[in-house]
Amino acid sequence: MIPGAATDLESVMDNLEDAVALFSPRGELIFCNKAMSALQLRALHSLPADSAVKQIVERTVAGRKSQGPISISGLDPGDTAERLMVTHAIEDTGGRFLGAMLVARNIGYLSQVHSTLNYSRKLAALGRLMAGVAHEVKNPLNAMTIHLELLKQKLARQPVTAGASNVGSRNPDPGFASAPDVTKHVDIIGKEIRRLDEVLNGFLKFARPDELKLQPVHLATLISDIQTSVTPEAERRRITMKVDCPETLPEINADPGMLSQALLNLALNGCQAMPDGGNLKLSCRATSRRRVEIDVEDTGVGIPPENLGRIFDLYFTTKDQGSGIGLSMVYRIVQLHDGEVEVQSTPGRGTRFRLIFPQA
């Protein structure tokens, strides 16, 4: 075997999402990757007789034929995930039986991957659609803004009328409002046009974000910068802010600007969720499978269960002045970095957003 090949193979196996174990022809456990170790798989003889793992492996060893797939829940008392389990009979080139390989696939994780792929396809289609929408909508908006300015200039030169009693006015029409009243309506129209333009720009930024500029990012430094930016808002709301991000944490490949935008959005959202004060915590840690987790946790009002599945939907918001773009952008940015987002929230107790990224 090539030197180092065994180590490389073991590393590959440990990074698999699937739980994998190898058994000898006598049913002895001879190898399992990290995903299977996490399920606390033990030797077959120590498993109860009704164990699905024991039964499927023993059938494979006895009959020297592959078994499954079968669907089971709870390979371990602490594991509630639904898994698809299959065994493969392993033979050498001469047909000699070498043992059995057990593979347990997390169906829930697979569904999440399919959901992410579908989301990506929708975003790609949305980006193509927005290229045309931008041209068709922004040009009329610009024209409306220009003509509103011209109308305001003409109104400024219009003599002020007092309605029907102003007989000497150049505009004695009693149905014509006074210039200040008309100007007020024009100002409102202008404000709404600007708001529509901001919404459209946010939509465009979401559908067609800036090109990623990936580089190794030292998270302790980036989180410290986020803390500096958020501290004034936290102090104004009587919020205690805590940061736990070790200097020795592995770097991740990221676009510093985009990642900062996502974390700043989550931190400020956390502050807004605590109108009466509370605690905001930003923490980082290295985890298995060469991943790094970043948590943004608050002790605020929480998210109602009926809204939890919609918080990343574009334009969904429960805030009076919210745009419904912020959390969608967070999800989009994490996705562009090949990361994952997890959310846990309890109404009245707070919310935790967890961003998971591959190490550099």
Three-state secondary-structure class, residue 301:
coil
Q: What is the pLDDT of residue 301?
A: 94
The answer to pTM > 0.75 is no
257, two tokens? 């600007």
> 249: part of which helix (H) or strand (E)?
none
Picking from 210, 202, 215, 332, the residue whose alpha carbon sits closest to that of residue 262 is: 332
How many CB atoms within 10 Å of residue 276? 9
Residues 83, 111: Cα–Cα separation, whole Å: 11
Asked, as a colleague might, if the bond just before 69 is cis with ω within 30 of 0, I would say: yes
Asked, as a colleague might, if the bond just before 232 is cis with ω within 30 of 0, I would say: no
DSSP label at residue 17: S
Q: Where are the beta strands (DSSP E) in 245-337?
A: 252-254, 278-287, 291-298
Per-residue confidence in pLDDT tens, the chain, 360 aa: 445 444 555 555 655 667 888 888 887 888 878 777 655 666 676 777 777 778 888 888 888 888 877 877 655 555 556 778 888 888 888 888 888 888 887 766 555 555 555 665 666 666 666 656 666 777 788 888 888 888 888 877 766 554 444 444 445 454 445 556 777 888 888 888 887 777 777 666 666 656 778 899 999 999 999 999 999 999 999 999 999 999 999 999 999 998 999 999 999 999 999 999 999 999 999 998 889 999 999 999 999 999 988 888 877 777 766 666 788 889 988 988 889 999 999 999 999 999 999 998
CA distances from 298 to 5, 338, 355 (A): 46, 25, 15
CA distances from 15 to 38, 108, 313 (A): 13, 18, 31
Q: What is the pLDDT of residue 270?
A: 95
Residues 326, 313: Cα–Cα separation, whole Å: 10
Residues 335, 315: Cα–Cα separation, whole Å: 18
* Domains along the chain with CATH numbers: 5-108 (3.30.450.20), 111-158+175-207 (1.10.287), 215-358 (3.30.565.10)
